[in-house]
Amino acid sequence: MAELATVARPYAQAIFQAAQGPTAAAPLDQVAAELDALALLARDPQLRSLSGDPQLPAERLGALLLSALPQPPCAAVHNLLQVLLENHRLAALPAVAAQFHQLKDAAQQCSEAVISSAYPLEQAQVDALLPSLERKFGRKLYPRVVVDANLIGGVRVAVGDEVLDTSVRARLESMRTALTA
């Protein structure tokens, strides 16, 4: 079977184009949230086993998935789900959602900033840190905070393949390298 990312790419591009088109009924952020909710369901092993059941038609499985959502998704997401189910590609839904997020972020010129800290950060601390990070990386960022006790102190910020490491661990490692050179 083809790699899931390869299978997911045309579906992600199609839903992105549908969400941006002149007849788009939902904003990109709403489509992304709906895809995330469906992707979470698609990761469930019991549900994935149902998708392989030849006695369960795609329409019934789709209705089951949609009934688990708090509200019905927009037409584009609903249609995507039906196409994925008809083509037996439910396993690709998490990859579709991830690739949709990449396309959305590129269109909106923003990125996810993974902020690793030795201790949990308060929302006020994250809000104070974000403007300087946006200036540093030159784009709008939305933060995701991760606690990593190995950092000892400070923060490590990863935006795509760019990393800003001001952690105590990185400073100690730099000092160790300088002393042993």
Same domain, 154 and 172: yes
Per-residue pLDDT in tens (0 to 9) along the chain, 181 residues: 468 889 999 999 999 999 987 777 689 999 999 999 999 999 998 888 888 778 888 888 889 899 999 999 999 999 999 999 999 899 999 999 999 999 999 999 999 999 999 999 999 999 999 999 999 999 999 999 999 999 999 999 999 899 999 999 999 999 999 999 7
Numbers of helices and strands, H then E, in the chain: 8, 4
Domain that holds residue 14: 4-106
Cα–Cα distance for residue pair 19/81, rounded to 1 Å: 14
Is 177:147 a contact under the CB 8 Å cutoff? no
Under 8 Å CB-to-CB from 68, ≥6 apart: which residues?
Answer: 41
pTM value?
0.77
Same domain, 91 and 132: no
Final residue of a structural domain among 48, 80, 106? 106
Same domain, 22 and 87: yes
